[in-house]
Amino acid sequence: MLRPSKKMLFAIEAVLDIAYHAGGEPVQSREITRRQGIPRRYLEQTLQQLVRSGILSGVRGPRGGYRLARERRRISVGEIVRVVGALETAEDPYRDIPASELGKQVIRPMWSRQQDEIMARLDSITIDDLCMTAYRDGIASEATNKLDFAI
């Protein structure tokens, strides 16, 4: 069974949390930790990497935090997975593992094709799609509390 890492799931949850709960204001990491239960030690490093990759932007100051760097319909789950994957391993994990000719010529290429198919599917899922799913499932958004209609 293919299984995403904790850091990968935390990154997707954090970006979704920011998209779903922002309401025009930056989202502070402690708010994400409170809502999602993501350990802060994982979160800060991951958020900074997402800022460096252009998925999020950081806002400094007492009311600072994180916001999406682009529209949520322009951020794919596949993009987030690639950023975290690069953080987790900078090398080919199979390079140093010994393998028979069957492993090298049949199993590894098959596995690689499966990963390519999964990534193509993840590239087709946007943060907007996930926000709409959360909305349809009745998950309350704190964004409604943050809207300010004052002129």
| CATH code, domain with 135 | 1.10.10.10
Which residues are 2's β-sheet partners?
A: none
Domain-located, residue 151: no
DSSP letter at 73 equals: G
**pLDDT confidence band for 143 (50 / 70 / 90):** confident
User: 27 Cβ partners below 8 Å, 6+ apart?
Assistant: 17, 18, 21, 65, 66, 67
Q: What is the pLDDT of residues 25-77, one digit of tens each?
A: 899 999 999 998 888 887 988 999 999 999 999 999 888 899 999 999 999 99
pLDDT at 149 over 50: no
Q: 1 in a domain, yes or no?
A: no
Residue 67 falls within a domain, yes or no?
yes
| Residue at 87 is within a domain | yes
Tokens 């600072």 belong to: 64
User: For the chain, what is the radius of gyration of the CA atoms?
Assistant: 18
Number of structural domains (the chain) is 1
